[in-house]
Structure 1
Amino acid sequence: MTRKTPQDLRSARWFAPDDLRTFGHKSRMLQLGYDEQDFRDKPVIGILNTWSELNTCHSHFRERAQDVKRGVLQAGGFGVEMPSLSVDESFTKPTSMLYRNMLAMETEEMIRSHPLDGVVLMGGCDKTTPGLVMGAISAGVPLIYLPAGPMLRGNYAGKILGSGSDAWKYWDERRAGNISDAEWTGVQGGIARSAGTCMTMGTASTMTAIADAMGITLPGASSIPAVDSGHQRMSASCGRRIVEMVWEDLTPEKIITSGACKNAAVVAMATGCSTNAVVHLIAMARRAGVDLTLDDLDALGRITPLIANVRPSGKDYLMEDFYYAGGLRALMKQIEAMLDTSCLTVTGKTMGENLEGAQVYNDDVIRPLSNPVYKEGSLAVLRGNLCPDGAVIKPAACDPKYYHHEGPALVFDSYPEMKKAVDDENLDITPNTVMVLRNAGPLGGPGFPEWGMLPIPKALLKQGHRDMLRISDARMSGTSYGACVLHISPESYIGGPLALLKTGDTVRLDLNARSLDMLVDDAELARRRAAWIPPEPKFERGYGYLFSKHVTQAGKGCDFDFLETGFGRTAGEPDIF
């Protein structure tokens, strides 16, 4: 491998010439208190930090950025911390998904417009992983992804709590009248006990595991709890390794190949991944020029057993237990025969080399192939006259009696309408009813919010029911569970078939056949189509207007069409110095 010289560094264009532009660059570095020997002839490493006081998942990132800087300095590089857009699912409304592409755009342009030779991407909360990675792929400089890590287990009254999953469970019990104010307050105070992402296998842990399996984190980095001292050591190691990657010119296109994307999909299925993995993994792959499709994911799901016994797909354990059981390297070792172990990773070694020596220390947390949690993978893709371009369900996280179900639809056109109805104890509904929420997709939400796990109506909760078939063009939290069909595509807001469904129509789900249909004849659907009136636009200016004009549908990853590989050439590197 031919190593770069200092003259080959991208940052040398800013700092090496003897001209007026370089005078300006150097004088401003001196203004910051640096001496020329701090940055001249050294790889300049951008540390893209999504820390925010309103992003609880990343509350430890101020300190971790310093750990990365320490590693960069030890390896002979020059690290610069750069704040990036911080999007989180707890506080960002209507959904952080609306701003994932904004983070991707910012990441790409920050890298392109600054004297950076390589980047460490600091993320973890749901949309930060795909947003940072998508942008950095397009920018093309060496990258390492640094996962925030899961928080510690929740705890209340001697019971282990899982973020998200137990919130939904206890909320249903509270709505049913089974939880007191004091108990609810206790759960609220005990469910999130430290810095870090949700400690269930929600979207955050799913996406960091995908990054790990794709080869863009240090091996096993996704499993380390946020507050474990090992996380600090991993952060410093990221700093040291990215400097070497710059000298080696180990860029994303050498790592994120079709094989790497397949590895990521297989690992996602084996971990009991969030349904959101579908949207983000497709978007990341397409940025890398890999044509990963819904059908590819469904095919892998049919042959990949779910072996991580971690909530919500598993029954007993959380991410801290998963780490102690051997973490992602141990899980990948169990399914090694299903992986492309020749794929190159950020270590400069192959995935197979990275997995050498990995062991499972608790085979109830990370199951052997002979004893899976679920015989197939986490997700299934459905098609039918309700979702000709696809929909997604998480079979392992719902009651099996709904794998084959037929019932009358109860349709809601908005979230507020649905929210009001489910608290009506006199709502005309049975356990066989199929609850439907529409106008909640990428354009209808707007932004594709996590509204798809529709609350069980209070009338049914009081009868003892805790699941029912629900369908929507929305997403749901990765910590959610239940018989929820999501990502109905095309979405209803743009006239997809879901817009034509009426209350009382029969809906049929057949999981084995991978089908979802409304039992309405074509002539009646044609009449409804002719009468359908498109809704008013959600946005008339700003970022929302840009989003509404260019976002793709769920099956293509909801990226902006003009950002996908192959749309056209970029402006390239800056040429005015």
Structure 2
Amino acid sequence: MDNTAVVNPEFADLYIEEAYNPYRSCIQGLANEPITVRALLRRADDLLCDEPEFAGLGDHSLEAIVARLAANRPRVAIIQGSPDHPAHMFDHEHTLRAAARIWQNGGVPFTFGIPVICDGTAQSNIGQSYSLASRNHTATAVNINFEGHSYHAAYVLSGCDKTPTGILSGLASADRARRQPARGTAPVWAIFVPAHVLKGGTIPKRTRQKLQAIQDAAIAAGDAQLAADIEENCHYILQCSSDEAFLGHLQRAEEKGLVTRAEADAILNELAAATCDDKGGICAFNGTGNSSRTLVAALGFVPAESELLTDEPGTDVVQRNVDQLFRMFNKPEYSVCNLLEKNYANAIRIHGATGSSSNLMLHMPCVMRHAGYDVSLFDYARVRDSHAVPDVFAHSLTEGRDTFVLAQQAAAGLHHGMTSLFKVLTDLGVPMDLDAPTVAGLTWRQRVAAIPVAVSPALPQEKSVIRIQPIRAISGTDVMRGNFFSSCTLKVAGMSSESWQRFNGRVFLVRYYENEIDCNDDLRSTNLVERLAARPALTPELLAAIRRHAGAPADQSVTEMITSGVLAFAFVIAGQGPKAFGMPEMFAPSQYMRHHGVIEKTSIMITDGRYSGVTKGACVGHMVPEAYEGGGIGALVDGDLLWVQLAERRIDLLDTPDFLAGRLRPLPAAPARAELVAARRARIEERQLQVAACSMMEGVTDAEYGVVPLAVHKRATLRWPA
């Protein structure tokens, strides 16, 4: 190892051009911080010293560090996550490799970490009430540390769920504030390196045999539906999401006496132990983790080589990433806010084409509002509706086309990740802004021109995740309107074409729940159909009207109406909005509905909460105003009728007397039902006490504006597009 190595010649004369250097004007930082840098570099040297290609760090004494800080060499913060999240297990080594290269390039490396909540771990418990709040807290924490220690740029070890957009929001807010002339500071630059993809697990043979035994017992007991539901779930790669479905199946089996609680728990333990590969990473389903990976890449923040890693990046990859970051310095066109402004429309279209998580319908306006742009959910809808975007992303957890396979295909040179998606959409006539900049120092036009084909002919299209021809015309997430709410979202990408056609124009009967727990109790029961059939709201007059509307036999029983799909339900879960309960994901009830063969084919779910990015089926979320704020969803009751017109992007509450008379007429608005709404709000307020006060989401906007702090909302005044 050569400890006399000099600064990388490419950056030997690189100093950040700005009027104010706090490490020169304020001696305290110059006195405090050098020891943290030296400790970081010592650890990096210990890690890398035996690598033959490592050229050494040269002089990294306190005097050398002080000299660089005083001279305004680039100060780069490496932002890492907490190692109690699978995506951040090995951030320590990645951080040290990046720190070494920052020093070799003449910069000054720092690092800080942030807590990262695992949405899978937080599902179906109070942790989900902290998940969305964590995004806003992350933005604040990143901004405070970044501004408090006056860093110029960030090398972000981008992880899962809410943290990528939380970090990006904090950096964007810093960049916007630094543009005030009185600051005299340079803008903010950043590169994001997403964590590698976690390989999905496989059900152990002995566990599969136990599940098969339960299926056989279910058939013998006359419950072929339970056997079919278990069989369907066994075809998925083993992930925490499929484990949740097995939990519901086994609870149904226990209720039917097919398995004991101890036997069910043993099976669940075996599944859990086989789920996650010990290399860690971001789960292989196209949930919020991988949707966030897609988002930061579409926004131009990810070096192409690091978009889809299958393992932790080696020293050579990290060095190239850091070099790309350094080439952006002193170039305002590559600043965080500029990349966001130029690439936002591209990101909306990529989000639609890839069927990404509906959670991003909150996170995308959140990031833009932190950057100062007056963007809402309706800007997303405007861009989405201005030109049809086809589905070109054949992602599947059952057919060998998950995100890990996508990453393997990229590693084999069979496609070029985000650049391939841009090329496919451009070739299909979708108006992508190819002149938008990226951290590669190239525009998308230059990147697209550099690849001869989007997907190699050596990769059969039926095996490719990225398709060069549309899979179908409908895609992405729709913004819905209605007579009892302002807006909500529906992930069309999560519905099959057949179910979209079947649900379009249908009338659904409301089954109302005040919280997720009550809905879960219903959906995972073995006698769900009987429970639904016994609801008092199902009066003879209403049932007769539903039969007439559907053209069903007049003597059809309630049970037959449910199992045949004549009687379809809207499972409404209210009181889950951001101000009520932190806007948790309704993953468990949506998963139980999806893996219940009868209900999956006939019913929808509606909530003012959120859904997991992996959710499939007719799941309507983000309803605004939320129940806690007096939204119409909080005034619905069992027996109300909803007319769902997917093609018109509308959900309307029907006039029940008119329906009984054979007419479909939406009400002017939701009924007041003041006493009922007041009683429900009181119960919401009592339930709120379960959430720690410091993480309550008070003083935030509604979902239409990304659930951002009001101070951020107030400053978001810039027009977009400019």
Band of TM-score, shorter chain: 0.7 to 0.9
Indicate the residue corresponding to 1:435 in structure 2: 571
The count of aligned residue pairs is 558
Name the aligned partner's letter for residue 190 of structure 1: A
The farther-off stretch of 334-343 and 475-484 is: 334-343
Are residue 500 (structure 1) and residue 635 (structure 2) matched?
yes
- Deviation at residue 145 of structure 1 after TM alignment: 1.5
2:367 equivalent among 284, 293, 298: 284
Q: Distance in 1 between matches of 2:95 and 2:293?
A: 18
DSSP-derived class of the 2:197 partner: coil
**Rounded Cα–Cα distance in structure 2 between residues aligned with 1:530 and 1:187:** 47
CA distance in 2, matches of 1:23, 1:506: 67
Partner-residue secondary structure (3-state), 1:241: helix
After superposing the two structures, state which structure 1 stretch, 55-64 or 205-214, moved more: 55-64
Distance change (3 Å), C-alpha of 1:557 and 1:76: same
Match of 2:82 in 1: 51
Matched, 1:144 2:191: yes
User: Bigger shift: 55-64 or 347-356?
Assistant: 347-356
Give the share of equivalent positions with the same residue, in percent: 18
- Is residue 721 of structure 2 the alignment partner of residue 566 of structure 1? no
Residue identity opposite 1:188 in structure 2: A
Matches within 5 A, 1:327-342: 327-336=417-426, 337-338=429-430, 339-342=432-435
By how many angstroms is 1:65 displaced? 1.1
1:24 pairs, out of 31, 35, 48, with 31
| Partner secondary structure for residue 81 of structure 1 | strand
Q: Given the alignment of the two structures, is residue 360 of structure 1 paired with residue 455 of structure 2, yes or no?
A: yes
Superposition deviation, residue 87 in structure 1:
2.6
Q: Which residue of 1 aligns with 2:227?
A: none
Please give the per-residue CA displacement for 1:221-267, whole angstroms capped at 9, x wherever unaligned: 33222x2556x64433332222332344542122111x400111111
Amino acid at match of 1:208: R
Unaligned runs of 5+ in 1: 570-577
Deviations 1:335-369 (A, max 9, x none): 13531010111222212223333431333324545
Aligned counterpart for 2:582 among listed residues 435, 442, 447: 447
The question of 1:102 aligning with 2:137 is answered yes
- Per-residue deviation, 1:23: 6.0
Quick check: which has more Rg, 1 or 2? 2
1:414 aligns with 2:515: yes
Q: Matches of 2:424 and 2:346 in 1, distance apart? A: 13
Question: Residue 62 of structure 1 aligns to which amino acid in structure 2?
Answer: H
Contact 1:397–1:483 at 8 Å: present in 2 too? yes
CA distance in 2, matches of 1:240, 1:109: 26
1:528 aligns with 2:621: no
1:73 Cα deviation after fit: 2.6
1:175–1:458 CA contact under 8 A, matched in 2 = no
Q: CA deviation at 1:172?
A: 4.8
Q: Give the Cα–Cα distance (whole angstroms) in 2 for the partners of residues 244 and 418 of structure 1.
A: 53
Provide the rounded CA distance (Å) in 2 between the counterparts of 1:102 and 1:376: 35
Question: Is the helix fraction higher in 1 or 2?
Answer: 2
Deviations 1:357-388 (A, max 9, x none): 34313333245453x23312221111102332
- 2:192 partner amino acid: Y
Distance, in Å, in 2 between the alignment partners of 1:29 and 1:58 is: 21
Query: How far apart in 1 are the matches of 2:171 and 2:359?
Result: 20
**Deviation for aligned residue 1:412:** 0.4
Is contact 1:294-1:390 (8 Å) kept?
no
1:461-540 pair list within 5 angstroms = 461=596, 468-520=603-655, 522=667, 525-529=670-674, 532-533=677-678, 534-535=681-682, 536=685
Contact 2:605 2:619 in 1 (8 A): yes
CA contact (8 A) 2:635 2:673 kept: yes
Select the residue among 454, 471, 476 that pairs with 1:373.
Answer: 471
- Deviation string, structure 1 residues 25-63 (Cα, Å, up to 9, x no partner): 47756985842213513212111111322x122212122
- The equivalences for 1:152-191 within 5 A come to 152-156=199-203, 161=237, 163-177=239-253, 181=264, 184-191=268-275
Q: Which residue of 2 aligns with 1:116?
A: 151
Q: Which amino acid aligns with 1:83?
A: G
What SS is found at the alignment partner of 1:161? Answer: coil
Matched letter for residue 144 of structure 1: I
Residue 128 of structure 1 corresponds to which residue in structure 2?
A: 163
What residue is the counterpart of 1:575 in the other structure?
none
TM superposition shift of 1:116:
1.3
Map Cα deviations across residues 383-426 of structure 1 (whole Å, 9 max, x no partner).
10233233333344353322332121110001222222334424
Residues 452 and 471 in structure 1, CA contact (< 8 A), matched pair in contact too: no
Q: Counterparts of 2:74 and 2:669 in 1: how far apart (Å)?
A: 65
Per the TM alignment, residue 165 of structure 1 is displaced from its structure 2 partner at its CA by 4.8
CA offset digits 1:123-162 (Å, max 9, x no partner):
2211001100000011111111121132113323586605
Residues of 2 paired with 1:218 and 1:30: CA distance?
A: 25
Give the letter for the 1:438 counterpart. A
Q: Is residue 2:127 matched to residue 1:83?
A: no
Contact 2:600/2:617 (8 A) holds in 1:
no
Indicate conservation of the 8 Å contact 2:357/2:612, yes or no.
Answer: yes
Residue aligning to 2:349: 266
Q: What is the SS of the residue equivalent to 1:96? A: helix
| Structure 1 residues 565 and 252, CA gap change in structure 2 (3 angstroms) | farther
Uncovered stretches (5+) of structure 2, i.e. residues with no partner: 1-11, 43-60, 176-187, 206-234, 534-561, 656-665
- Structure 1 residues 173, 67: CA separation in 2 closer, same or farther (over 3 Å shift)? same
Whole-Å separation in 2 of the counterparts to 1:117 and 1:263: 26
Distance 1:102 1:318 in 2: 31
Task: Tell me the SS of whatever aligns to 2:284.
Answer: coil
Question: In the alignment, is the contact (CA less than 8 A) between 2:489 and 2:621 conserved in 1?
Answer: yes
Provide the C-alpha distance between the structure 1 equivalents of 2:691 and 2:598, rounded to a whole number of angstroms.
47
Are positions 1:348 and 2:441 aligned together? yes
SS in structure 2 at match of 1:382: strand
Which SS does the other structure have where 1:550 is aligned? Answer: coil
Alpha-carbon distance in structure 2 between the residues aligned to 1:346 and 1:438: 42
From the superposition, tell whether residues 493 and 4 of structure 1 become closer, same or farther in structure 2 (CA, over 3 Å): farther
The 1:537–1:464 alpha-carbon spacing in structure 2 relative to 1, beyond 3 Å, is closer
* Alignment CA distance shift 1:387-1:162 (3 Å): farther
User: Is 1:36 matched up with 2:181?
Assistant: no
Partners of 2:32 and 2:363 lie apart in 1 by 37
Change (3 A) 1:7 1:291: closer
CA distance in 1, matches of 2:200, 2:155: 27
Q: 1:470–1:484: 8 Å Cα contact kept in structure 2?
A: yes
Contact 1:468 1:482 in 2 (8 A): no
Q: 1:7 and 1:214 mapped to 2: Cα distance?
A: 24
SS of the aligned residue for 2:487 comes to coil
- Give me the whole-angstrom Cα distance separating, in 1, the residues matched to 2:377 and 2:271: 38
Query: Does 1:8 find its partner at 2:36?
Result: no
Give 2:295's aligned residue. Answer: 210
Deviation at 1:472, TM superposition (A): 0.9
Partner of 2:213: none
Q: Which amino acid in the other structure matches residue 68 of structure 1?
A: A
Query: 1: CA distance between counterparts of 2:353 and 2:367?
Result: 19
2 CA distance for matches of 1:545 and 1:448?
A: 15
- Counterparts of 1:151 and 1:459 in 2: how far apart (Å)? 24
Q: Residue type matched to 2:700 in 1?
A: V
